[in-house]
Amino acid sequence: MLKKIIFSLLCITTTSSYSFEVYQFLNWHYLKTPTGEMKYSKEVTGYDDILASIGMKKMNVIYPIYLLTDNKADPEKIKKIAEATKTDPNTPVCFDIEIGVANQPETDLPVILDALNMYHKFGGKAPVGVYGVLPQRTPNKKMSENQKADFVALNTQYKAIAEKVDFLAPTLYFYSLKDMDIWKNKAQFNMQEAKKYARQYDLKIYPFVSLSNWDIQNKRFFITPMTEQSMTTALSFLKSQGADGVVLWESGSSRHASDKMPAVFDMNRDSFKSVVKIIDDNK
């Protein structure tokens, strides 16, 4: 309970009782400032500092290799994560445990719960969440009422996660989708489901959102940034639906589809400009 109170206080700004937090897990290297200056950092921590200077906070996404061994929660690995949070309790951690078979909770839920139990047992101090399981990820298309009912029932089976986390992390990437009406339909359903559990267990909601459309070739991400208008629509809509913020995620090896050059967070244009504006508006 104390950790949740501290987390809530960290999310309150002096100008508003409802702040919209922008977290990131980008692991890029380049940022272009409004003056045209190109900033570069070879190290991820240095890039995090660059993004922090414009108001973006770090979300520490923990991938399965650092959590599991043979698809089981590994106490030594999770103890190491928990210990690290004792010196950095203000950076939330999000477990990314993508194992098992879709729509079959018995193939992943026990492992997720084991990992969360170990994190708490070892005294993890940072707020913790789990990526993309409560609510379960939905397709980038309009769903029928029967399909929605199936996901509602599936989410109920993952309810136990809500008792062990501090925030929920729905997955709302654009992938190749450009139709914002379809995306908003998906986002609205996911937010309705997330709010159901967030209200019951006093949790924050931080959807994972991409900055671009993706063309994935041989596990390489070639990105086309969303337009400024589309990104503004997405962020404003999520805020209107009750999200406490977002987590911006892109592959660390992303390259622009237009010229195949490494990805640049260009504060002057496209989705990047929209993100900067919403950060400034919520200062």
Each domain of the chain, given as residue ranges in start order, spans 53-59+132-211+227-251
Q: pTM of the predicted model, to two decimals?
A: 0.92
Other Cβ atoms closer than 10 A to 278: 18
- Determine the pLDDT at residue 8: 52
pLDDT at position 271 is 98
Average pLDDT estimate for 13-22: 64
Question: What local confidence, expressed as pLDDT, does residue 283 receive?
Answer: 79
At residue 15, the pLDDT reads 36
Looking at residue 118, what is its pLDDT? Answer: 98
Mean pLDDT over 230-241 rounds to 98
Give yes or no for a contact between 155 and 135, defined as CB atoms under 8 angstroms apart: yes
Give per-residue pLDDT as tens, 248-283: 999 999 999 999 999 999 999 999 999 999 999 987
